[in-house]
Amino acid sequence: MIYQPHSHLTTYILMALNNADLPEGTVRNLMEQDTLKWVFVGGKGGVGKTTCSSVLGILLSQVRSSVLIISTDPAHNLSDAFQQRFAKTPTVVNGFTNLYAMEVDPTIENEEGGSEGVDGFFSDLANAVPGIDEAMSFAEMLKLVRTMDYSVIVFDTAPTGHTLRLLQFPSTLEKGLAKVMSLKSRFGGVLSQMTRIFGVDDEFGEDAILGKLEAMRDIIEQVNRQFKDPDMTTFVCVCIPEFLSLYETERLVQELTRFEIDTHNIIINQVLFDVEVVESQLLKARMRMQQKYLDQFYTLYDDFNITKLPLLPQEVCGVEDLKAFKYHFLTPYQPSRARCSAEELESGIAKLKEQLKDAEAEYEKIRKGKNQV
């Protein structure tokens, strides 16, 4: 028999004392921050980012006039989460009047039959320079979003590596476009002469290209300022209580700090709660492992709002499941304890007595062995 140093009651009392001074373990702070315009949700692949993004969208729709959820993950799961097909344009979510969703591709697609003029030039540029396709697509998406009047926009992002690139795009584009614009004064005359010599029409001329670059730069500069404003932008890290996810979250938080992007919420998903006397040795081992990493999360991020979500026996799929799951985001999860019958209690007491007898016998053997020595 393995000696357990604390009873379940003692463990919960110690946890309560340790967490007494920590920020509230919910996402209510996001709902109450009415200045938020951009909410990014990200983390390691497979930790439940889409489910969390969907629930956050539902919760924000209760306190905001209009909410848009955008999936920027190439492997779109937003349609699966809501069990409704979404496309590249905002679509109202079934059962809501002010919640919209859309799935965007991180590349620029050519229309059938090809594209011409300035748009064709930008499409060719995107296909020619590695990485710029995502940046250009991001800029076009932001331009589209800015023309729509949404109170808050929730980004369901791709796994961490792609997300970090996404967050770099405003700064990268701003620097790149500034560089291009600076060349206008040096080579503007040459470019103008070349367009006249080769008979290029006005649509593809110097003014058209530079005009589009200038408009894009204005958008990017504004978005970049907003992304670095903690009143307007925040990043919610989603993870599970395992080593790789903890490591990825730490890397993500450090990168966000480097990009000057606010983050003060962590959602820990798929937590096993110690509700009863568990017979399964596998579950006991998993709980001990999870508790070790949960302790590390609270040590590293003692000033964050850390929300723990339970591992459920079934998938969270569809609007009704998402609505039911949202309550775990608003109130710290308390595992329900089933009421035992008198027979079950008697059986449990008998087991404990047997374990106590075994422990006493083991202790007596050890004591006698010491005395003989």
Binding annotation: 44-51, 242, 269
- Which residues are annotated as catalytic? 73
Among the listed residues 221, 146, 167, the one whose alpha carbon sits nearest the alpha carbon of residue 40: 167
Q: Give the angle subtended at the CA of 220 by the CAs of 231 and 212, to the nearest 5°.
A: 155
Q: Name the binding residues for ATP.
A: 44-51, 242, 269
Which spans in 19-131 are helix H? 28-32, 49-61, 78-82, 117-128
Neighbour tally for 47: CB within 10 Å: 24
CB 175 within 8 A of CB 255: no
Alpha carbon dihedral 60, 309, 76, 151, in 10-degree steps, equals 10
* Separation in Å, CA 155 to CA 56, 68, 110: 10, 8, 24
The residues, any chain, with a CB within 8 Å of residue 148's CB and separated by 6 or more, are 68, 90
